[in-house]
Structure 1
Amino acid sequence: MLKRFLRHGTLNITLPDGSTRRYGSGSPEAHVRLRDDRIVRQLVLNPELAVGEGYMDGSIEINDLREFFAVALPGVYKAERPWFQKPLDVTKQTFRKLGMANNPFRSRSNVAHHYDLSGELYDLFLDVDKQYSCAYFAQPDLTLDEAQEAKKHHIAHKLNLKPGMTVLDIGCGWGGMALTLARHYGVKVVGVTLSREQHAIAVKRAEEAGLSDQCDFRMQDYRDVTETFDRIVSVGMFEHVGTPYYEQYFGKVNDLLTEDGLALIHTIGHVGPPNYSDPWMVKYIFPGGYSPALSEMQAAVDKHYLVTQDIEVLRTHYSKTLGLWHDRFMEKADKAREIYDDRFVRMWRYYLLCMEAAFRVGSLLVYQVQIGKHMEAAPITRDYLYPYEGERQRKDTAFAKAAE
């Protein structure tokens, strides 16, 4: 199995009997020690799940987790599975839709599993505005807080907002996006979430900012919203919809959007054809989660005759975001142990570094898909996305004419 997977980089494995084997060649290089025979069998049968669980319980020791993922992930994504793993892959494909059957009841449960963790946990590594999604590094030297602020305004420009417009924020999190849109763009926002923890914080933040009259945060499933809106935004929520509900999701977007409206869907996606979610990630981090192929999203958009106005692919922005989250989390790991325990810290560290590598050397990226109901719902050039750059160019042109 390892000879098939490892094409770039070197993996040194010390087996339970003390013998050491070396796979692959060149750099990067990682060292792994297996502590019992049971984990060897599990690795062969279901490597994605077994590595994560083994690292969490200590039956697998990895000297440098970042280097390990740099070696392991490219091979796992690109190599053909050995024959003895193919029955498991068939099973995963067969039951993939069942695992993403995110009906309203199950959606609430899945959201609570991750987003209703202690608020103190997220304070350990998120930016001051609690943005739990891919930042936008408009300049390579931006801090995490600056890049998250840039992400919100980049999305706001894509929404092409005008004062007084109404906006629906599907999966509003702790309210940062809605508050930014209300404060800086003069719009009224309805934010919906299924997380009690996030809802309570969002409502409190709106009150403290004096924006309660512009931001209406609700504990509500997006499927139960009935008003229409000039704009719809959804950041980091579509990954929790599940493929069986894609047509319903975009059907609801179609119903809730005014005739001249715009929607911006920001979601993790993957390169290649439809596949299945990482079993460790589904079991421990995001139950019911799935990062779609662009083709899966587009098929559902087309089903409702919605017009794709623009698609932007943020490729390594999330890798940088996750790396910063990891480093900040580890600086306060002792506090995380006080909140939970050492096993939780190992789980969270594995999650952040696995995802960092998946966006750098794996198959994950971020799609920002802008849709409307007709061909000119959005301006037909991209100038409006970069208003400050446009202003600079106008000044340069005026200066050149004056010089002449």
Structure 2
Amino acid sequence: MKHLLNIVLKHFIQTGSLLVTFSDGTRRIYKGSADGPQAGIHLTTRRAERALVINSGMAFGEEYMAGEILPDGCTLETLMLLLMTNINGHGHIIEEIEDRLRYVTRLLRTLNSLKRSRRNVAHHYDLNGKLYDLFLDRDRQYSCAYFSREGMTLEEAQEAKKHHIASKLNFDREGLEVLDIGCGWGGMAITLAKDYGARVLGITLSVEQLQVARQRAKDAGLEKQIRFELLDYRKVRKQFDRIVSVGMFEHVGIAQFDQFFKTVHDCLKPQGTALIHSIGRMDGPGTTNPWLDKYIFPGGYSPALSETIAAVERSHLWLTDCEVLRLHYAKTIAEWRKRFDANRTKITALYDERFVRMFELYLVGSELAFRTQGHMNFQMQLSRSVDAVPLTRDYMLDREREKLA
């Protein structure tokens, strides 16, 4: 198997160089162009070598979690930068076949039924709540922040994100009814109620998030304005003045795109406005990395704008505005990583070293996906009526500046 891996790596490394220490102690360097990243890797077992040939998309993550793949003379970030830079243009033949099969079957793998959706959400969001306090901001915003100026702290950028979104929702009066799809720990709902006078229904499938969100609303004295429920978006049967969804559309699954936007249409009043904030990709429809799908976000998929807008069109909604945030999420995750690293000992005590390796790999890979692999965020403003929002975007800037002044 070492011989096959040698052939794979010779073909794979076209940019930079990779020094490999095999399980038997032998070392070999694989060189591409001289201007790429330089990294080293130690494969401590024959199993790791075999897995990288047979199923590299899954194997790297699993063997790193097991401690059988280690960065050698470099950081995990440098190693992954080298690998992700090279995978952008090509993979080896087995990986290319696997990727094509994943694409063909991607609809089946994202058939997120009501039961499966709840299970998927619990997998990630019902982890020990103390974990999220150790790397997120104080408001527990687990989505892309908005760095509107240089030198912002994570807390400032997350606060700016909420007001940036609120400005697009066009709160022209108090008392508007808002549906928050995928409300997380309640931060957005609390801001809309406290700063914009909204009445909010926040829905989630996470029991952990629900409990925290309800307590936060109570502590803020906003129980009369905010209600949180354990509810799937497909079960909502009421119309609202505004709908907001931040970081939830990535969990919907391709097979449910039409259902999601039909729900937005049906739950939006004729003159209402919706804002959908989601991770996306700039290079067209694709697939979810199998390791990420298994260990981090089961059933998740970061959509291309092309397939998202096609579903919007089928729902008979107006796309009244769309903004692409390119490197904002990379900057956000970089801040999460700093806090995660600073609290590594505490996180290990909550779980174990294997979990820490898994989460570390997820954060590093996610940041690099936004820096090197075409991932971004988009914000879509939607309405049912052609005249639901003002003719120009000036109102967004005016309201945002007013709140952040």
Query: Is 1:148 paired with 2:155?
Result: no
Instruction: For 1:364 and 1:57, locate their aligned partners in 2 and report how far apart those are by CA, in whole Å.
Output: 28
After TM superposition, give the deviation of residue 94 of structure 1 in Å.
2.7
Opposite residue 60 of structure 2, the aligned amino acid is: V
Opposite residue 8 of structure 1, the aligned amino acid is: T
Provide closer, same or farther for how the CA distance between residues 390 and 174 of structure 1 changes in structure 2, counting only shifts above 3 A: closer
Instruction: For 2:261 and 2:331, locate their aligned partners in 1 and report how far apart those are by CA, in whole Å.
Output: 30
Query: Is 1:57 paired with 2:66?
Result: yes
Q: Is the CA contact (8 Å cut-off) linking 1:2 and 1:23 kept in structure 2? A: no
Query: Is 1:260 paired with 2:271?
Result: yes
After TM superposition, give the deviation of residue 14 of structure 1 in Å.
1.6
**Structure 1 residue ranges without an equivalent (≥5):** 392-404
Provide closer, same or farther for how the CA distance between residues 175 and 301 of structure 1 changes in structure 2, counting only shifts above 3 A: same
1:73 equivalent among 67, 81, 84: 84
Find the counterpart in structure 1 of residue 122 from structure 2.
112
Find the counterpart in structure 2 of residue 306 from structure 1.
317
Find the counterpart in structure 1 of residue 29 from structure 2.
21
Query: Is 1:131 paired with 2:137?
Result: no
1:245 equivalent among 238, 256, 272: 256
Return 89-98 or 158-167, whichever deviates more: 89-98
**Structure 2 residue ranges without an equivalent (≥5):** 1-7
Find the counterpart in structure 1 of residue 3 from structure 2.
none
After TM superposition, give the deviation of residue 288 of structure 1 in Å.
0.5
Instruction: For 1:389 and 1:127, locate their aligned partners in 2 and report how far apart those are by CA, in whole Å.
Output: 21
After TM superposition, give the deviation of residue 41 of structure 1 in Å.
2.3
Q: Is the CA contact (8 Å cut-off) linking 1:383 and 1:390 kept in structure 2? A: no
Find the counterpart in structure 1 of residue 227 from structure 2.
216
Identical amino acids, percent of aligned pairs:
49
Query: Is 1:10 paired with 2:17?
Result: yes
Residues 330-355 of structure 1, C-alpha deviations (whole Å, 9 max, x = no match): 10111111110011111111100100
1:46 equivalent among 52, 55, 69: 55
Instruction: For 1:154 and 1:264, locate their aligned partners in 2 and report how far apart those are by CA, in whole Å.
Output: 11
Query: Is 1:165 paired with 2:172?
Result: no
After TM superposition, give the deviation of residue 240 of structure 1 in Å.
0.6
After TM superposition, give the deviation of residue 30 of structure 1 in Å.
1.4
Q: Is the CA contact (8 Å cut-off) linking 2:110 and 2:254 kept in structure 1? A: yes
Secondary structure at the residue paired with 1:58?
A: coil
Instruction: For 1:6 and 1:374, locate their aligned partners in 2 and report how far apart those are by CA, in whole Å.
Output: 52
Q: Is the CA contact (8 Å cut-off) linking 2:167 and 2:396 kept in structure 1? A: yes
Q: Is the CA contact (8 Å cut-off) linking 1:30 and 1:71 kept in structure 2? A: yes
Provide closer, same or farther for how the CA distance between residues 164 and 324 of structure 1 changes in structure 2, counting only shifts above 3 A: same
Mapping 1:223-242, distance limit 5 Å = 223-242=234-253
Q: CA RMSD in A?
A: 1.6
Instruction: For 1:373 and 1:364, locate their aligned partners in 2 and report how far apart those are by CA, in whole Å.
Output: 29
Q: Is the CA contact (8 Å cut-off) linking 1:69 and 1:354 kept in structure 2? A: yes
Opposite residue 109 of structure 2, the aligned amino acid is: G
Q: Is the CA contact (8 Å cut-off) linking 1:269 and 1:291 kept in structure 2? A: yes
How many residues matched?
391
Instruction: For 1:380 and 1:357, locate their aligned partners in 2 and report how far apart those are by CA, in whole Å.
Output: 38
Secondary structure at the residue paired with 1:28?
A: strand
Instruction: For 1:164 and 1:128, locate their aligned partners in 2 and report how far apart those are by CA, in whole Å.
Output: 27
Secondary structure at the residue paired with 2:105?
A: helix
TM-score norm. by structure 1 comes to: 0.93
Instruction: For 2:115 and 2:400, locate their aligned partners in 1 and report how far apart those are by CA, in whole Å.
Output: 46
Instruction: For 1:345 and 1:320, locate their aligned partners in 2 and report how far apart those are by CA, in whole Å.
Output: 21
Provide closer, same or farther for how the CA distance between residues 380 and 2 of structure 1 changes in structure 2, counting only shifts above 3 A: farther
Instruction: For 1:31 and 1:269, locate their aligned partners in 2 and report how far apart those are by CA, in whole Å.
Output: 31
Q: Is the CA contact (8 Å cut-off) linking 2:164 and 2:400 kept in structure 1? A: no
Opposite residue 202 of structure 1, the aligned amino acid is: A
